[in-house]
Amino acid sequence: MTGKFTVLVTGGAGFIGSAVCRRLISIGGYRVINLDQLTYAGNRASLRPIENSPDYVFSKTNICNETAIRELLRTYRPDAIMHLAAESHVDRSIDGPAAFVETNVIGTFRMLNAALDYWRKLDDEKRGRFRFHHISTDEVFGDLPFDSGIFTENTPYAPSSPYSASKAASDHFVRAWHETYGLPIVLSNCSNNYGPYHFPEKLIPLVILNALDDKPLPIYGKGENVRDWLFVEDHARALELVMREGRNGQSYNIGGGSERTNLQVVETICDLLDKKRPSLLGNSYRSQIAFVVDRPGHDRRYAIDATKIRSELGWTPTVTFEEGISATIDWYLENSWWWQPLRKQRYAGERLGTAKG
């Protein structure tokens, strides 16, 4: 392990966090300490490809437990922290906002306190390369008109849901710890992710699996809401770049440049499934589409301007939406061992999802 760059990843059993852990271990040169409480969306099965690596460590820990966080920092002495742990589902935040305040705001506060104390005690060399990388969402910026506008790093915050408000608060705390105490930080705000290992209540996996089960494919309102879709492995690659090469105190928007309405996303999935796994009923999966009452505060459109990360760090997405959605469907068709146990739980299929995951 000598010479390995050690990264403490919070929320590393979640959708994006597990993609980050898998990437860091697979490319080599990293030791990964995965900290996750294993709530409903955390799944250690998502780490199966790397769980036997000598450079991978898992710790079941709550980010609100500052004492435990401090002990992990003393034990493993990370060179960077990638903070992804968060409650992330908009519908759940509407039903129960308290958990989002506790995890996303208080949990981030606890992480910052522990990180600051740890950073202050490092030697000069290690202090110079340390970064606290806070991973956030484009939803903190609110929504955009259907026909104009795009989010930049300078877009004012205007969150619409308890979820996005809690993430906005955590972003502000991270910046405050940098400005007030000098903690070296980088932030990133991403668009909607999709890909393998996505929790089954989120929009894309929900539609895939409901289609296969001959269940309705629910879409809010008229399906006109627009999101910019980012393949999760492209995002993981961007996050590594921001963590290693991002400028201290800066934020970076990460987007896939693939805006689609929710209806277009669902229809694309239906058309691909018609070819890959035709319905036994002989109908197109489009016949299962069902429009349902819209949720409160549903943002119309998100769109990311990724110019800064492209020009400063050389990152661009490599997977088109057409390529990524086809690969995602293939993954769900081939990996029922992963999603079937989750699907059987009582909350599976009961919610619609368009958040990050």
More confident residue, 293 or 130: 130
Annotation says 350 is catalytic? no
Does residue 172 carry a pLDDT above 50? yes
Strand order in the sheet with 80-83: 56-60, 30-36, 5-10, 80-83, 131-137, 185-190, 251-254
Annotation says 40 is catalytic: no
In this predicted model, what pLDDT tens digit does every residue of 333-344 receive, in sequence order?
999 999 999 988
Task: State both tokens at 330.
Answer: 């293939």
Catalytic one of 30, 56, 163, 332? 163
The stretches of 51-142 forming alpha helices (DSSP H) are: 66-76, 90-95, 97-100, 107-120, 124-129
Residue 348 has pLDDT above 70, yes or no: no
Position 116 pLDDT exceeds 50: yes
Residue 353 has pLDDT above 50, yes or no: no
Give me the catalytic one of 139, 228, 233, 267: 139
pLDDT of residue 254: 98
Residue ranges per structural domain of the chain? 5-194+231-255+302-318
φ, ψ (nearest 5 deg) of residue 48: -55, -40
pLDDT value of position 332: 98
Write down the architecture of domain 5-194+231-255+302-318 according to CATH: 3-Layer(aba) Sandwich (3.40)
The residue from 66, 79, 91, 138 that is catalytic is 138
- Percent of the chain at pLDDT > 90 equals 87
Q: According to the model, what pLDDT value does residue 2 have?
A: 54
Give the Cα separation of 81 and 126 in Å (integer): 13
Give per-residue pLDDT as tens, 45-86.
999 999 999 999 999 999 999 999 999 999 999 999 999 999
Using alpha carbons only, what angle is made at residue 14 by residues 337 and 75, rounded to the nearest 5 degrees?
115
CB atoms within 10 A of CB 340: 12
Taking only the tens place, the pLDDT of each residue in 267-324 is 999 999 999 999 998 999 999 999 998 888 788 999 999 999 999 999 999 999 999 9
Q: E strand or H helix at 34, and its extent?
A: strand 30-36
**Tokens representing 274?**
């018609």
Query: Residue 345: what pLDDT?
Result: 76
pLDDT at 208 exceeding the cut of 80: yes
What pLDDT does 355 receive? Answer: 37
Confidence of residue 103 (pLDDT cuts 50, 70, 90): very high
138 included as an active-site residue: yes
For residues 351 and 292, give the distance between their C-alpha atoms in angstroms, rounded to a whole number. 11
